[in-house]
Amino acid sequence: MLLKKITFILLCLAIFVSCSKKNNKETSMDTISTKVDSLLNIMTLQEKIGQMNQYNGFWDVTGPTPKEGNAEAKYQHLKSGMVGSMLNVVGAEENKKIQQIVVEETRLGIPLIIGFDVIHGYKTLSPIPLAESASWDLKAIENSAKVAASEASASGINWTFAPMVDISRDARWGRVMEGAGEDPYLGSLIAKARINGFQGKDLSAKNSIAACAKHFAGYGFIESGREYNGVDMSNSFLHNLVLPPFKAAADADVKTFMNAFNDFNGIPATGNKMLQRDILKGKWNYKGFVISDWASIKEMVSHGYAKDGEAATKYAVNAGSDMDMESYLYVNHIETLVKNGEVKEELIDNAVKRILTVKYELGLFEDPYKYCDTEREKSVVGSKKNHEAVLDMAKKSIVLLKNENQLLPLKKQGLNIAVIGPLANDKHSPLGSWRGKAEDNSAVSLLEGLNAYTGNKITHSKGVKLVEGTPNFINEVKINYTDKTGFSQAIASAKNKDVVIMVLGEHGFQSGEARSRTNLNLPGLQQELLEEIYKVNKNIVLVLMNGRPLTINWADENLPAIVEAWHLGTESGNAIAQVLYGDYNPSGKLPMTFPRSVGQVPIYYNYKNTGRPEPDGDLVFWSHYTDEANTPLYEFGYGLSYTTFEYSDVKLSSKEINSSNNKIEVTVKLTNTGKYEGKEIVQLYIRDLFASTTRPVKELKDFKMVNLKPNESKSVSFTISEKTLEFYSANKKWEAEPGEFSLFIGGSSNTNLKENFTLNR
């Protein structure tokens, strides 16, 4: 009893220090650190372990629920201070209830940090992250994350498990939909934009939430694109390709990291000390906390790394995993491990310090219920303003892949149009995977978007069923391969129409976690339907909805127009219709290469040259396939506009960077040579011709978004300095090496507009 009283007095003291600063938004890290230390001082080992434990809510699952996950046990743990965080508890009211349990019933009343996968929106959905990345529009992407944070934070959430910053070159992997594509430079900028959007300028503001850079590390390179598979990669590969977006995230002050399911060079990422302690918390001096992925601590047993749960706990804590998501191991084993001396208590203190710091920064100690205001929830979630923002993002995410004879944009009057395809009137699929709390069937379908334009006559037929039943997040999607009963009606409807809009692709739940594919074609009977329709009407605009690059060679060879519309979220149909009718001129560029064949995967623009890059006459001995070209169908950075752009007059302020001249200014003249006002993403690539380790044939180094009216020209400029030329070298550090370089400027990664320069010291 006496002990309880003393601890209570000490806690009041800690809280007094906290409250005395209440109105000072700029509470310094020093003050927070003092508060955390005083709280830590009065915590028992059990209470510390509790802070490192996260449970899934009782209502929602995003992974296999373990048998220990029964509601009663969790409830008891919440009441006894054995839970520091919950995930998947949503809604202001529900979160208030759960927060009240710990704040009012536990000895120290330390508030919970409440996480949720707010990946591309909470209820009003933006496009899937891969689609957003196609906009290359960092401001728009930041704003999209801000909208997501405003809705989530109004519903009791204060932490999102986003952004996923895994670079990937393998379209077979379903989670490419969740990332920013294949390029580490673009990926780093997008990581930063998303983090800034979620966390805002002031993390303690009620509409910002903590972000989480995931999955640390290597997950995007799982072997054969098969979900949860292992990763084996060189140090150079790790540093040059995988780590840059994570480093950018740490530099952007992301509050948390999540480790990964995958084995990394023989040691599961979750128990990987080199990744978490040496690089992240060591070399990068990262101060936030690391959460495991769902049950990934326990899975180290299945990996064949830890012999049992206790060993897994030991490896995870020692490696730097601060919080256990749904393994139920930290609560059961840390105490014994500390008592046996196998885990040092100072590591526990360090983990808890990191977790409490983020809670303080969020302002949870000042007001644990700040995210639980039902009035705010009503006015913010699903607001008109948020719909406008996601519509804007959706338009910017669309990529025009082909447009022969300017078939697009369509005239708004007098056309007879057939709209065909299983996704044309689908209000469920465009929401994509990871759809937060969006209601099923809440997207605007393309048919609805088109019907908002009343000047044309539109007939609609589905043609074929893509999936059986209503797919969801946790079950396998069942594709229809047999039912062709809708073919004849669709074929009849296509005859004698001015234009056919075919809406085909993947269901929204065909990409995402655990949705790896060995084929990248149009699933089910869609290709067959497309070819049948083509026999009666060749004037087809193919609108693709998909979560990954697809092999659409036939469509590219035969159809006049192709629009990449991904899974665009809540306002999908309105965004696509506005693009098809020319109310928005598409400007997106692919963030990931589209292969010709799945056999080319992994395929990417920043490849190495090899020793035999070119054919020598008729000889077969060069780096190629005997049955397919090396080149992709559509390369990274590719995307058309309704207008055309011409690049000319590349000028370099100097041909050399040296001790007296530390930079080169490059300018290029860009002219709009078409009929429409439009935006172009002007891209700068570099090639380091010789280096201590071989370098890619091109690497994106900068880009500018330029808007031009017809016939207008602008000079676009870039600065190249030694910093631009740095890479992780054979000396195991980031540095630029003197020598010759090429620079390339253009509207995609296959531009040939080239100049050379040198770096001399």
Q: Which is nearer to ligand BGC, 63 or 602 (CB)?
A: 63
346 burial type by CB count under 10 A (0-12 exposed, 13-18 middle, 19+ buried): exposed
Rounded distance, CA 370 to CA 376, Å? 10
The minimum distance between CB 116 and ligand BGC, in angstroms, equals 8
DSSP for 671-720, please give it.
Answer: EE-SSS-EEEEEEEEEEESS-SS---S-EEEEEEEEEE-TT-EEEEEEEE
Q: Which is nearer to ligand BGC, 32 or 438 (CB)?
A: 438
> How many CA atoms lie within 13 Å of 146's alpha carbon, on the beta-carbon side?
17
The minimum distance between CB 117 and ligand BGC, in angstroms, equals 5
The minimum distance between CB 53 and ligand BGC, in angstroms, equals 15
- All residues at 6 or more sequence positions from 481 whose CB lies less than 8 Å from its CB, including other chains: 524, 525
Check: CB of residue 386 under 8 Å from CB of residue 379: no
Q: Which is nearer to ligand BGC, 293 or 361 (CB)?
A: 293
308 forms beta bridges with none
Q: Which is nearer to ligand BGC, 90 or 499 (CB)?
A: 90
The minimum distance between CB 516 and ligand BGC, in angstroms, equals 13
758 forms beta bridges with 656, 740
Q: Which is nearer to ligand BGC, 214 or 435 (CB)?
A: 214
Angle of the 71-79 helix axis to the 92-105 helix axis, nearest 10:
50
Catalytic, out of 170, 293, 392, 688? 293
**Helix (H/G/I), strand (E/B), else coil: 499:** strand
Q: How far is residue 698 CA from its own chain's centroid?
A: 23
ω before 268 within 30° of 0 (cis)? no
> How many CA atoms lie within 13 Å of 341's alpha carbon, on the beta-carbon side?
0
User: What are the C-alpha distances in Å from 691 to residues 185, 685, 695?
Assistant: 20, 17, 7
Q: Which is nearer to ligand BGC, 211 or 467 (CB)?
A: 211
- Buried b or exposed e, range 656-680, using 16+ CB within 10 angstroms: ebeeeeeebebebebbbebebebbb
Q: Which is nearer to ligand BGC, 396 or 515 (CB)?
A: 515
Q: Which is nearer to ligand BGC, 63 or 560 (CB)?
A: 63
The minimum distance between CB 258 and ligand BGC, in angstroms, equals 6
The minimum distance between CB 138 and ligand BGC, in angstroms, equals 23
Residue with tokens 């469920």: 428
Check: CB of residue 551 under 8 Å from CB of residue 570: no
Q: Which is nearer to ligand BGC, 129 or 184 (CB)?
A: 129
The minimum distance between CB 61 and ligand BGC, in angstroms, equals 8
The minimum distance between CB 159 and ligand BGC, in angstroms, equals 10
User: What are the C-alpha distances in Å from 312 to residues 318, 321, 674?
Assistant: 10, 11, 62
The minimum distance between CB 148 and ligand BGC, in angstroms, equals 14
**Helix (H/G/I), strand (E/B), else coil: 566:** coil
| 293 flagged as catalytic | yes
CA-based R_g, the chain, Å: 27
Closest residue by Cα to residue 90 from 60, 69, 120 = 60
The minimum distance between CB 129 and ligand BGC, in angstroms, equals 12
Measured on CA atoms in the order 695, 696, 698, 702, is the torsion positive or negative? Answer: negative
Tell me the one-letter amino acid at 232. D
ω before 602 within 30° of 0 (cis)? yes
Q: Where are the alpha helices (DSSP H) in 86-136?
A: 92-105, 129-133
Tell me the one-letter amino acid at 87. L
Q: Which is nearer to ligand BGC, 181 or 678 (CB)?
A: 181
Binding site for ligand BGC (CB under 6 A): 62-63, 117, 161, 214, 293-294, 513
The minimum distance between CB 31 and ligand BGC, in angstroms, equals 31
SS (H, E, C) 313-326: HHHHHHHCCCEEEC
Token pair recorded at residue 548: 């990954």
Q: Which is nearer to ligand BGC, 63 or 230 (CB)?
A: 63
The residues carrying an active-site annotation are 293
